[in-house]
């Protein structure tokens, strides 16, 4: 079974249903980017996978286990960098290192110490005396030092400055190349996901409404645009994923077009262009999760 | 890897950009036969790309005979003669494909591009 798996997952809060039968399977060694609008349930999904929130129905499994109670062996191999700041503010860095080292058998602090040296931070420094960016980086460094087999991250890079961001990304990807961990991260920064991920999924209306490998997305997905008024709103070819209208033109996001189809569409006056995640992501999310303002 | 330029937000898969970039560096003589290439770890970390993109690029280049994997020693630019000619053609193809993508994005059809290219070549002939 995939290291990260959810089956028909359901979760309802007093404000309404958030997860509505969500199925997710992140294959071994994959770096999976979770996209979706604020409040669409990304954090709920991650919390449920970590066993911090119990599902109303369905199953959330990490390394084959529901991580609620017990599972110390699995938990030692899973790291979660949650949203916000969770490290105790009074703690000196070295105590956090000692704690993590005791909890995680394969803990290796080399990268962490290299970062502390580069930042000129003493291990005696307390969490509260660090900048917000440093605190987040410390959380990420601690997670990676545990050499996790599964790593979940919720909006992990928002607080980092550009240099810290680039340095940590480099470290994360080098770790991924060596150890093939399975990584699930949520982010609104499409350019980040474009570099890091091999797969992306869009969470909308309580399910994974769209999922694709990034290579497929770039090789097989095209934007077909009709300028001016179109006679009908029907998609001009099969394989439609989504469509949207703006400024008098309509665009269809279409998968698996053959070159003969492209030629036909161009003859018929449509504009056909390749898609990247940055260009596509916004419209994809908008059309899968329309909200009336 | 110095000299390898990637644009993650281009509508071209990153593994293809890595392949094209390495081919280009070989054709330009920046990389020479027998030169050692970065490991998957160095490439993924250094270029900040998903490791599977790096693996896929190396596998395809190995398949095409552009690079060789020496078990335990690393990955190297192949020694085979004729490689450069092969690369030049691949590069031309890649350039033309990129041109078509850009032209399409600007609303030109492939026929229009072909006609424009033909006209340009004819013009040059007349001029010289």
- Does A283 share its domain with A143? no
Do the Cβ atoms of A273 and B9 come within 8 Å? no
Q: Average pLDDT of B41-55?
A: 94
| CA A82 remoteness from chain centre | 12
Q: What is the pLDDT of residue B76?
A: 93
Q: A190-204, A243-257, B81-95 — which one is most confidently predicted on average?
A: A190-204
Mean pLDDT for all residues in chain A: 91
| ipTM of this complex | 0.84
**Mind listing the pLDDT tens digit for each residue in A59-106?**
999 999 999 888 889 999 999 999 988 899 999 999 999 999 999 999
For chain A, positions 173-232, list CB contacts with chain B under 8 A: 173-174, 176-178, 180, 191, 194-198, 214-215, 218-219
- Inter-chain residue contact A177 with B45, CB threshold 8 Å: yes
B113 neighbourhood in chain A, CB within 8 Å: none
Q: How far apart are CA B48 and CA B96, in angstroms?
A: 27
Instruction: Provide, as residue numbers in chain B, all residues whose Cβ is less than 8 Å from the Cβ of A31.
Output: 50
Whether B6 maps to a domain, the answer reads no
pLDDT at A264: 87
Is B45 contained in some domain?
A: yes
pLDDT band at A229 (very low <50, low <70, confident <90, very high): low
B112: CATH: 1.10.10.10
pLDDT band at B85 (very low <50, low <70, confident <90, very high): low
Query: Looking at beta carbons, which residues of chain B come within 8 Å of A218?
Result: 11-13
**Residue A120 shares a structural domain with residue A171:** yes
**Is residue A74 one of the residues assigned to a domain?**
yes
Residue A41 belongs to a domain with what CATH number? 3.40.50.300
The pLDDT value recorded for residue B86 is: 63
Q: 3-state SS string over chain A?
A: CCCEEEEEEEEEECCEEEEEEEEEEECCCCEEEEECCCCCCHHHHHHHHCCCCCCCEEEEEECCECCCCCCHHHHHCEEEECCCCCCCCCCEHHHHHHHHHHHCCCCCCHHHHHHHHHCCCCCCCEHHHCCHHHHHHHHHHHHHHCCCCEEEEECCCCCCCHHHHHHHHHHHHHHHHHHCCEEEEECCCHHHHHHHCCEEEEEECCEEEEEEEHHHHHHHEEEEEECCCCCCCCCCCCCEEEEEEECCEEEEEEECCCHHHHHHHHHCCCEEEECCHHHHHHHHHHHHCCCCC
Domain that holds residue B96: 14-127
Residue B99 counted as domain residue: yes
Q: Are residues A150 and A250 in the same domain?
A: no
Is residue B1 a part of any domain in this protein?
Answer: no
Domain termination residue (choose one: A204, A230, A248):
A204
Look at residue B32 and tell me if it is in a domain.
yes
Q: Are residue A159 and residue A269 in the same domain, yes or no? A: no
Number of domains in chain B: 1
Domain around A232 = 218-288
* Residue from A31, A163, A198 whose CB has the most chain B CBs within 10 Å, to mutate: A198
Please check whether residues A195 and A250 belong to one and the same domain.
Answer: no
Does residue A186 fall inside a structural domain?
yes
Domain boundary among A158, A177, A204: A204
Nearest to A275 among B11, B46, B49 (CB): B11
User: Could you tell me if B48 lies within 8 Å of chain A, comparing CB atoms?
Assistant: yes
pLDDT score at A136: 96
Same domain, A152 and A181: yes
Number of domains in chain A: 2
Do A138 and A281 share a domain, yes or no?
A: no
């Amino acid at each position: 079974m995939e290291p990260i798996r959810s089956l028909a997952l359901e979760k309802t809060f007093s404000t309404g249903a958030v997860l509505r039968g969500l199925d997710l399977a992140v294959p071994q060694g994959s770096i999976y980017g979770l996209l979706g609008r604020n409040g669409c349930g990304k954090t709920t999904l991650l919390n449920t996978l970590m066993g911090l929130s119990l599902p109303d129905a369905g199953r959330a499994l990490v390394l084959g286990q529901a991580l609620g109670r017990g599972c110390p062996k699995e938990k030692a191999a899973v790291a979660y960098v949650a949203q916000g700041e969770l490290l105790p503010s009074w703690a000196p860095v070295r105590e956090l290192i000692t704690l993590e080292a005791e909890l995680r058998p394969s803990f290796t602090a080399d990268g962490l110490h290299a970062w502390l040296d580069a930042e000129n931070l003493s291990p005696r420094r307390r969490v509260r005396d660090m900048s917000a960016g440093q605190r987040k980086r410390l959380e990420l460094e601690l997670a990676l030092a545990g050499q996790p087999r599964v790593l979940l991250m919720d909006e992990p890079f928002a607080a980092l400055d550009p240099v810290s961001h680039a340095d940590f990304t480099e470290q994360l990807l080098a770790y991924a190349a060596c150890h093939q961990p399975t990584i699930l991260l949520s982010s609104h920064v499409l350019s980040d996901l474009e570099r890091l991920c091999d797969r992306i999924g869009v969470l909308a209306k309580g399910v994974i409404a769209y999922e694709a490998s990034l290579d497929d997305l770039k090789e097989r997905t095209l934007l077909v645009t009709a300028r001016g008024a179109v006679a009908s709103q029907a998609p001009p070819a099969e394989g439609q994923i989504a469509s949207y209208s703006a400024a008098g033109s309509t665009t269809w996001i279409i998968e698996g077009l053959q070159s003969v189809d492209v030629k036909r569409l161009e003859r018929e006056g449509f504009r056909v262009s390749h898609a990247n995640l940055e260009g596509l992501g916004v419209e994809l999310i908008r059309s899968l999760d329309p909200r009336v303002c | 890897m110095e000299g390898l330029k990637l644009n993650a937000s281009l509508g071209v898969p990153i593994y293809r950009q890595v392949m094209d970039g390495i081919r280009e560096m070989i054709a330009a003589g920046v990389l020479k036969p027998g030169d050692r290439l970065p490991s998957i770890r160095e490439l993924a970390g250094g270029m900040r790309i998903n490791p599977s993109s790096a693996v896929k690029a190396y596998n395809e280049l190995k398949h095409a005979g552009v690079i060789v994997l020496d078990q335990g020693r690393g990955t190297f630019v192949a020694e085979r003669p004729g490689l450069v000619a092969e690369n030049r053609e691949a590069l031309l193809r890649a350039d033309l494909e990129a041109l078509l993508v850009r032209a399409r994005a600007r609303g030109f059809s492939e026929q229009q591009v072909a006609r424009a290219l033909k006209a340009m070549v004819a013009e040059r002939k007349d001029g010289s």
